[in-house]
């Protein structure tokens, strides 16, 4: 994965936050980087739909097919 995601996992991976907190941070990011809005929206839709997916991926890479459409 990219350095940003790995860095986030290393730096804050043990913290627990709500999805409302994550959504607030995504809104803040889009306010700073408006061109990213379509990608952030796709990420938010993906995160909203992951409740049925396994999250057991410690160091093994993604748990979903990266070519699958975002719901």
Q: Which long-range contacts (CB under 8 A, 24 or more apart) does 58-65 make?
A: 61/1
pLDDT exceeds 70 at position 60: no
pLDDT exceeds 70 at position 69: no
Output the DSSP codes for 6-66. Answer: HHHHHHHTT----HHHHHHHHHHHHHH-GGGHHHHHHHHHHHHTGGGS----TTT--SS-T
State pTM to two decimals: 0.67
The residue with greater pLDDT, 20 or 60, is 20
In tens, the pLDDT along 20-59 reads: 999 999 999 999 999 999 999 999 998 898 876 666 655 5
């Amino acid at each position: 994965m990219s350095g940003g995601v790995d860095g986030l996992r290393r730096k804050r991976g043990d913290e627990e936050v709500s999805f409302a907190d994550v959504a607030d941070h995504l809104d803040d990011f889009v306010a700073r980087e408006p061109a990213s809005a379509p990608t952030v929206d796709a990420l938010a839709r993906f995160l909203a739909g992951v409740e049925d997916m396994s999250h057991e991926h410690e160091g093994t890479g993604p748990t979903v097919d990266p070519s699958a459409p975002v719901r």
